[in-house]
Every structure is written in C-alpha cells, then in structure tokens.
Amino acid sequence: SQQGEEDPQALSIQEGENATMNCSYKTSINNLQWYRQNSGRGLVHLILIRSNEREKHSGRLRVTLDTSKKSSSLLITASRAADTASYFCATKDSNYQLIWGAGTKLIIKP
C-alpha cells in the first residue's frame, strides 16, 4: 500500500493563481519530501520538511506539515506555465525506503 497519497489527482489553474496540493501518509515519519516531475522524466527534489517543523518556505513554495493529521500540503504561489508538472510527496518506511504517492498532475493554463 502507498505511504503517501496526493490529492487532488489533477489540478488545472490559470497562470498567476496559487496551487495547493495535499499529501496524506500512514505511519510516523522523520521527514517528508516533495518532488516535481516534468513530462515523465526524472524527478527533482523541491523541499524537505522534518517532523518537528510545521512550515517551510523555498521561493514560491510553501510546505506545511501536520503530524497529528499525518498530512502535508504544498502551496505554489503565483503559478507559472513552467510549473506544469506532476508533484509527488515521499516519506520513508520502516526499512528506510522512500515510499511515493501517485502524484498530483498540475496544469497551468496561460
């Protein structure tokens, strides 16, 4: 079973709007990571948030973590066409392997 589950599966917004994606997980974690994948190619690491952190920023990205609800959200502000991609969250299981959700496909319309 998947550790991370992203929601929504797909999101289409106008350029300039904000995009919010959510991730839920099942077990306790040390950290949670968000990655981006363009056009079915390799993934790029975006941001890591540790279990003792509640919020983290990186440029136009804002990640929150609620360990009591076992959930995280990724907010992309002032979206651009280049943000069109699939976004994945990942957490580590008890064998220290990254477990991935199915991702949120984000489409930014010009």
Where does this chain bind other proteins (CB under 8 A)? 2, 4, 30-31, 33, 35, 40-45, 48, 88, 92, 95-103
If the CB atoms of residues 78 and 102 are measured against other proteins, the closer one turns out to be 102
Residue 27 Cα distances to 52, 77, 79, 87, angstroms: 15, 29, 32, 21
Distance in Å, CB of 16 to other proteins, minimum? 27
CA 12 – CA 3 distance, rounded (Å): 25
Q: Which of 62/92 has CB closer to other proteins?
A: 92
